[in-house]
Amino acid sequence: MDQNQAMVKMVFDRWNALIKNFSTSLDALTDEQLQHEIAPGRNRGIYLLGHLIAVHDDLTRLLDFGDKLYPELVKPFLESPDKIIAEIPSAKELRAAWSTMNETLNQNFDKMQTNDWFQKHTAVSDEDFAKEPHRNKLNIMLTRGSHLAYHHGQFILIK
């Protein structure tokens, strides 16, 4: 294992653990509990779930994996705070989307070679990337990983 392979493994060990931990917390909640707020007056569990699916779906764009699976989640879960959009997908639908999202991402991750992770993501220009080579695809996984950890810390508060 060379240092680049080790680096990709480090980032993905973390990512996979965070996804697994969130999934375990999700499986432990009923659909009714997902309607509860993480704390009084704060986001509901179902909103955090939809938000994470929408953010991870955006990885398909940033990592050049093709079209989004759930563009309809952008408005309610990225562009709007919780409780603004009255009609959102059901807990059952979002659970299925979380699962499909992870499977689809994993299929795409499996096709990547080590060196692909050190290439630029789609939201940085060639010019900027030449000066800032850390703005690569692996960095996207790093930032989305800490975003997931942040919301998982909140998600486990649901009773």
Q: Can you tell me which of 62, 112, 124, 142 binds its own copies, judged by CB under 8 A?
A: 142
What is the closest distance, in whole angstroms, from the C-beta atom of residue 62 to its own copies in the complex?
15
Q: Of 108 and 154, which CB lies nearer to its own copies in the complex structure?
A: 154
Supply 77's token pair.
Answer: 């879960």
> Which has the closest alpha carbon to 67: 115, 14, 122?
122
Residue list 88-117, contact with its own copies (CB under 8 A): none
CB 127 to its own copies: min, Å? 15
Q: Which residues, at least 6 apart from 60, have a Cβ–Cβ distance to it below 8 Å?
A: 66, 67, 68, 69, 104, 105, 108
Residue 7 touching its own copies (CB under 8 A):
yes
Q: Is 62 in the site for its own copies (CB under 8 A)?
A: no
Regarding 128 and contact with its own copies (CB under 8 A), the answer is no
Candidate residues 23, 118, 119, 124; the one interacting with its own copies per rule CB under 8 A: 118
Residues 14 and 138 sit within 8 Å (Cβ to Cβ)? no
Amino acid type, 9 = K
The answer to whether residue 13 forms part of the interface with its own copies (CB under 8 A) is: yes
3-state secondary structure of 135: coil
Backbone region of residue 83 per phi and psi (left: phi > 0; alpha: psi in -120 to 50; beta: other values): left
Rounded to the nearest whole angstrom, what is the least distance from the CB of residue 15 to its own copies in the complex?
9
Among 20, 42, 75, 83, binds its own copies (CB under 8 A): 42
Judging by beta carbons within 10 Å of its beta carbon (0-12, 13-18, 19+), is residue 134 exposed, middle or buried?
exposed
Q: Residues interacting with its own copies, by CB under 8 A? A: 1, 3-4, 6-7, 9-11, 13-14, 18, 38-40, 42, 118, 133-134, 136, 138-139, 142-143, 145-147, 149-154, 157
